[in-house]
Structure formats: structure tokens, C-alpha cells
Structure 1
Amino acid sequence: MSAPPDRSLLRRPGPPPSVTGEDVRAAAELLRGVVTVTPVEDSRALTAIAGVPVLLKCENLQRAGSFKIRGAYVRMARLPDEQRARGVVAASAGNHAQGVALAARLLGIGAVVYMPVDAALPKIAATREYGAEVRLHGASVDEALAAALAESERTGAVLIHPFDHADVVAGQGTLGLEILEQVPDVRTILVPVGGGGLAAGVVAAVRSARSDVRVVGVQAAGAAAYPASLAAGHPVTAHGLATMADGIAVGTPGAVPFGVLHADRTEVRTVTENELSRALLLVAERAKLLVEPSGAAAVAAVLADPGAFEGPVVAILSGGNIDPLVLLRVVRHGLASAGRYLHLRVRVDDTPGSLARLMTRLAASGGNVMHVAHTRTGSGLALHQAEVDVQLETKGPDHCAQVLRDLQADGYGVEPG
């Protein structure tokens, strides 16, 4: 008969355990020599936009590519020997999976990780390379988590939750201690928020030392459970999550992090998909850093409301594990959002030379044609018409507007692509 599962993550009556600055400092001792003290880099581009100093905490350069190793290691390092012997189980779309797998390898613990069937192949491969057994299950992290919980109950393996445990929150909070040491005059810290473990840990770390530092959480508008939850005073589930930032696409806040953030009255803002993609592009181009969409959320908050934050501002780049195919789509989306990529459908006469004349006109406008599709038949086309689907690289919003004006002045029928 298997040993009973660890049920410390299942919600119980009464308030969830709190996390203090002392808890975070104790976690930092456990992590000494295990995690990298990631650098903080000045961002001249964001400083110019915000009008105050903006710095980037480069947790995308952490071991396993994100902050998740911090909480996973602390949680697992504190397991008694009999629980370590039963192994651990987790569920994740990628970052937590890699953090758990690496922590398990470092601690000599067997690990099974459930991932959604459509999880990015590089994240699946990395999790396996760290030594964990990967099982693909379900269409979402929530479904994978249900399978992981069932595995825990069946085998007695300890469920390592991605955010809803005091040890995990304390481990993530060590990032906040690093910020206080690296930027002693920091006044605002911007933190990506999914389940809330990182933000709660940073709040716990900062509040015990600096009451003057403002911590602001940032969620994707398409997966924002925290604003409604904080307003209601209890976790509220957000349905129909839709965002490119899969690392922070969490439907229900964790009880432990929610308790910390609610007690602190932490503000949580939302950012759009356009702002996320623009932020990722800016970090890549100007800071020469590769981040995933969720890792760019803090930067997106600066772009969305540049004058809202007292400086110095530290924006946490929480992760850099991005599928190259997703990166390609996000960069294209970011170029469009920044007005440097224009997609048009143009009606032309279906006569010899019409397509060549359109391409010549676009070349004269300074647009760089990236893709062309020429359609001669369709339900919306007259007998004498053809439609040209054109993707252009441009020089910015003003240039986009000028290209449209030039085409319309020449009599072309133009619609956005």
C-alpha cells in the first residue's frame, strides 16, 4: 500500500500560510551556490520612454531559463527523506517543468512532469534532458495539473505546485532580495503575474526591508484573474484565457500568493497582446536579450503607461524559454504593432502588367515587399479584377500611413490584411 500523498497544497479552511521576509532570507541560504545571481542591466531605451531610470532584472539568464528553479528547489530541499524517496510530480507548460526537473536532478529525487499535449517541443526536450519523465496530458496546464494531482494521490509522490505553496513563494522571493542589493535606490518593481508566486515572494522580501518600494504586478489582459480577485477579496477564476504569454496564463490565483498580495494591497495591472509583442521586440532589439512573452510583461507595462512609475524602476524579465516558432510569430506581431510591418489587400485590374505596376509603386514608396499572393478568382472579385495580398516591411507608423495614402491617391482599392 502506497504512502499517503502530500496534501499541503490542497486548500483547507482558514487563512493560507503567510510568507515573511525571514522566510525569504532562509530560502536564500538554501539557494546559495544553486541559483545564479542574475544581472541587472540599464535600459536607455526604456529610460527615455519612461522619463525615469529603468533597469532590467535578467532572470531570463537564470539556470533552466527562468525564476522557477528558485521556488522548486526550496520546496524540494525541505522534503523529509521519506517523501524524497517517493519522488515528486508536477505540471507545467514549460518553465516550472524545467525548474522542477533541474531541482530534482540536483537533489537526487525522481520526478514526473505532466505537460499539455501542445507544449512547445524545446521545453519538452529540455525537461527530459534535465532527467524528468515527461507525460503529455490534456489541452491545458489545468488539465495537466489534474493528472499530476491524481498521480500524487495514486503513488504518494509529492506534488510540487508551481506557485501555491509557502516554500515556493519564499524561494521566488529571493529574486526580490537580489534587486534590493543590486539597486539600493529602487522605488518601483514591476513583476509578471500568473498564479502570483513570484509577485508574492518579491512583496514578502521587499516589505520587510523597504516600505517605500512599490511593487506592481502585471498580467496579460487575456488571462487576468488577479484584478477581479483582489477587488472581490478572494480568488476568482478567469475563464476563456487567450494570450501569447502562456507562462502567466493562469485561471485562478493561488491561495498562498493571493493572501500575500491582498494583504499588501498590491496593484496588478494588465497589458494587451500588442504591448506584450512590442515589449518583446524592444528587449530583443535594444537590450539584446531574448525573453518569452510572459517574461516581457513588466516591460509592456512601461510601454503601456510610461509616466506611471516612480524611478528607479526595475522590470523583471522572468523567463527566456521561447519556442523559435512562437518567437517568429511574436516578432512579426510586434513589428505590426510598432508600425513596421504592413499587411494589405489591394484590388488591381486583371490585365497584363497590373501586378508589376503595383510592385513598382510600392518600391517607390520605400516599402520592402516581404510576401505577395496574387488571387484572380474569388466570390468578392469582379470579372476584370484581381486581389493582391501584400506584406511590407516599413519604417514606422508614419511610413505606413504614407504608403496607404499613396496607393489610394493612385486609385487602388486598399484594405488592411
Structure 2
Amino acid sequence: MLELRDVEKAYENIKDSIKKTPLMECKTLDEMLGCEVYLKLENLQKTGSFKIRGAVNKILNLSEEEKEKGVIASSAGNHAQGVALGARTANIPATIVMPETAPLSKVEATKSYGARVVQYGAFYDYAYQKALEIQKEEGLTFLHPFNDKYVIAGQGTIGLEILEDKKDIDIVFVPVGGGGLLAGVALALKSKNPNVKVYGVEASGAASMKKSLEEGKVITLDKCKTIADGIAVAKVGDVTFEIVKKYVDGIISVSEEEIAQAILFLLEKSKVVAEGAGATSLAGLLSKQIDVNGKKVCCVISGGNIDINNIEKIVNRAQIIQGRRIRFTVNLNDSYGQVNRVTEILKDHRVNILYLNQTRYNIDLDINEQKLSVVIECKDEASGQRVIDALRADGFKVKEK
């Protein structure tokens, strides 16, 4: 079992290779939740993620023989970049196996650090098995993304920094994938202050740690799917499992919708860009599964490497959930001015029209009817409902989607 001194030693090893990321207070969350909320912004870390901490600490602890062989790792993207940058700094050749579904931005970033990238499988665990095959074939040194004591100790340095900036923190929410971040942070926090409560937050579509703890042993999920690709892990580590079991106060799960809303909240209210995994800790806080009233709370925003192509989809989904983006159809009489009348009502209610499409080819329509498909953006769910009510009051047949 790792000890606090392992984390402290890791910090001495890596402090010149990483950024000490800020702990930012969020007044909006304070008012919403009745507590003090701080965001540990690892999205501002080198490579855009906490993963460089563990990767660099591991590389610094390799023997000369292990370095000469070259290194290989499997990763959904963030560990990949950490290993690639750490290996380049140490002048070691690196091979990274990434899932075929890894965001293009993470794949390209990993290549930019000089690593050879092999893409294989639908999610992390398949890439992991492929990496082991290549390791045996080529005699490389394998660097595990989470189930390694040096990696865990490196990630635990985040806990030291949190206490350095806010020694009286009460509760810390940490994203969970394979468990390396949670294990390291919990070990550091609890060793220095046993009164701190530490909660891991998983995506419900990849709740491998929660289910393992419930069954008292490491289990493998049959399927693993979430927009939080950085924590899409079907099987946690046996090392991380034991540390989490000892130090963590609980694991909570959040839905895809909650993660999407957390990403949008960080963008809008805090001007923070977080990937799905990075926003999961905030999703856990916002889910209100843990009583935080009057407490000093920290959410570890573990990474910001979100695929730019997915931001619009995620924001769109979050706004639909919140009732700020509404889709509906309006049946129109085949007569002059019908579309104009609809747009006049929308204008009167000061909503933004995102999409209009008019068709008469629909089996559900009467022969003299047309259908107008509409997407609007509004202030909130109530303002959207007022638009629907106004259209109906004007005689239009409206169907909400």
C-alpha cells in the first residue's frame, strides 16, 4: 500500500515539470448550493490534463534498462499525451495505443509530442490488451495509466496542492475511471487530514468502481459507454481498488445528461473548458447526492481536452435538457402569410430561431396542410412554454418534440 511519503516524494520529482494549477472559487455555485465551492483547474495543466503528473513520475522512476527498451502505454487520450511529452523530454521513444473512438484532438496532440500512435478497439480496455500484445512482441516497457504506484503517487500530488491552497477544505469530488486519480488524491488528503470527505464520481455508463466496491472485488463491465471518454474504463485496477476501498468515503454515479449540463455550466458561468471526464466531478456536486450545505467543497476539473467537434453536440444536448432549446412542429394551412405569422409570434417573444424547415410531403398532413419544423433558443423552459402557448392561442396546431 502506498503512503503519504510516496506522494510527497513524487511531488519533489515532478514539481519542475508540471504547473501548480489554480484553485478557483465559484461564487455562482456558492449561491446555488449554500457552500463554498472551489475548482481545481487541471484543465490548465500541461497537455491539458492531470495525467502528466503520474506519467512523468513513472518515467523518472524507470531504470536505465527500461528506458533503453522504449515505452508503450494505452490511453483514451490524456495519459497518452502525458507519456508522450514525458518520454520526449527524457529522450525515450514512445508508442501509444488509443481506442479508435478517441477524440481526434487527443490523437493529434499525442502525435505532436513525437509518439507513435496505434488505434485499436472501441474503448480503453481493448486498447489496453492490444498494447500488451505489442509490448511482448517488441520488448517495450509498459506504462499503465492508473494501476501503478508511481502513477498513483503522481496523481496524488493534486491533493497536496489542494491542501496547500485551502487547508480547511471539507469535501472533495474527484472523477473516477480506472481509479488512479481518486486513489492518489484520497490517499494524500486523508493522510494529512482524516476529516476531509472524498467522493469519487463516475459516469453511470462506466460505473466500474462503484460496482466493484458493491461486490467486494474488481469486476469487468460488459459494456462501457459515456461522453466522458477519459473515464470510460470497464475494469478498475486492483491497486487502485484497494486504496479507494481504504480511503474514499463513497462513489456516486451521474448520467450523461448531468455531465453535459456540467460542461455547459463551466463554459457559461466559470469560463472553464472541461472535457466530459473533467466535468464529472462538478456533475456529482450538482446532482446533490451529497449534502454540502455550509461546507468548503472542491471539484477536481481533471482535464480540458474536449473534441471541438463535440462541443456543439454536448451544449445542444444540455440546452435541450434545460428547456432552453426547444424543437416543435407547427401545422400550417396552405394559405398566404402562415409562416410569417409564426415568425412574428417568435419575434414578439424574443426567442432566437435556430432552424426552420417547411414541407407539405407528410402522410400525417391533410391535403391542404403544410408542416413547419422549428428549433428555437430561449431564456428558460418557462419562456419556451409561453411561445408554444401563444402559437396555440393563435390557432396553430403545435406538436412538441
Do Structure 1 and Structure 2 share a fold, with TM-score over 0.5?
yes
Q: Write the distance in 2 (CA, Å) between the matches of 1:381 and 1:295.
A: 46
1:120 aligns with 2:103: yes
Structure 1 window deviating more from structure 2 (254-263 vs 235-244): it is 235-244
* 3-state SS in 2 of match to 1:398: helix
The question of 1:382 aligning with 2:366 is answered yes
Question: Which has the larger displacement, 281-290 or 372-381?
Answer: 372-381
Match of 1:287 among 258, 267, 270: 270
Q: CA offset at residue 382 of structure 1?
A: 2.9
Question: Which residue of structure 1 lines up, in the alignment, with residue 210 of structure 2?
Answer: 227
Alignment CA distance shift 1:147-1:265 (3 Å): same
Question: What CA distance in whole angstroms lies between the structure 1 residues aligned with 2:321 and 2:68?
Answer: 51
Whether 2:156 is the aligned partner of 1:197: answer no
Pairwise CA distance, 1:376: 1.6
Tell me, in whole angstroms, the C-alpha distance in 2 between the residues paired with 1:271 and 1:37: 28
The answer to whether the 8 Å contact 1:49/1:303 transfers is no
Q: Which residue number in structure 2 is paired with residue 103 of structure 1?
A: 86
Number of residue equivalences: 400
C-alpha displacement of 1:199: 0.5
| 1:321 corresponds to 2:305 | yes
> Structure 2 stretches of 5 or more lacking a match?
none
- Cα distance, 1:116 vs structure 2: 2.2
> How do 1:47-86 and structure 2 match up within 5 A?
47-86=30-69
**How much has 1:209 moved relative to structure 2?**
0.8
Shift of 1:374: 1.7
SS of 2:150's equivalent?
Answer: helix
**TM superposition shift of 1:307:** 6.5
Q: Does 1:145 align with 2:128?
A: yes
CA distance in 1, matches of 2:97, 2:126: 9
Q: Equivalent of 1:176, from 159, 169, 190?
A: 159
After TM superposition, give the deviation of residue 99 of structure 1 in Å: 0.9
Asked if the contact 1:278–1:334 (Cα under 8 Å) also holds between the matched residues in 2, the reply is yes
Structure 1 unmatched ranges of 5 or more: 1-17
- 1-structure distance, mates of 2:395, 2:202: 44
Task: Verify the 8 A CA contact 1:98 1:123 in the aligned structure 2.
Answer: yes
CA apart distance, 1:407: 2.4
Contact 1:281 1:331 in 2 (8 A): yes
Q: Which amino acid aligns with 1:363?
A: K
> Matches of 2:365 and 2:98 in 1, distance apart?
46
1:351 Cα deviation (Å)?
Answer: 3.1
- Counterpart-to-counterpart distance in 1, 2:105 and 2:77: 9
Q: Are the structure 2 counterparts of residues 191 and 265 from structure 1 closer, same or farther at C-alpha, using a change threshold of 3 Å? A: closer
Deviation for aligned residue 1:306: 7.6
Q: Does the aligned pair in 1 maintain the 2:74–2:131 contact within 8 Å?
A: yes
Q: CA deviation at 1:19?
A: 1.9
1:160/1:415 CA distance change after superposition, 3 Å? farther
Whether the aligned pair in 2 keeps the contact of 1:189 and 1:215 (CA below 8 Å) is: yes
- Aligned-residue Cα RMSD (Å) equals 1.6
Change in Cα spacing, 1:89 to 1:189, as seen in structure 2 (3 Å) is same
Partner residue in 2 for 1:394: 378
Output the CA distance in 2 between the equivalents of 1:25 and 1:104.
Answer: 22
Query: Which residue pairs with 1:408 in the alignment?
Result: 392
Structure 2 counterpart SS, 1:308 = coil
Of stretches 270-279 and 211-220 in structure 1, the one that deviates more from structure 2 is: 270-279
**Structure-2 change in CA distance of 1:342 and 1:232 (3 Å):** same
Q: Which moved more, 1:270-279 or 1:25-34?
A: 270-279
**Identity fraction in percent:** 38
- Contact 2:199–2:248 (8 Å) recurs in 1: no
Residue 40 (structure 1) shift? 0.6
Look up the match of 1:15: none
CA separation in 2, counterparts of 1:121 and 1:358?
41
Matched with 1:254 is: 237
Query: Counterparts of 1:293-312 in structure 2 under 5 Å?
Result: 293-305=276-288, 308-309=291-292, 311-312=295-296
Question: 1:342 maps to which residue?
Answer: 326
* Whole-angstrom distance in 2 between the partners of 1:92 and 1:331: 25
TM-score with structure 1 setting the length? 0.92
The runs of 4+ residues in structure 1 deviating greater than 3 Å are none
Distance 1:413 1:237, change over 3 A: farther
**1:265: how far off?**
4.8
Q: Does 1:236 align with 2:219?
A: yes
Q: Secondary structure at the match of 1:381?
A: coil
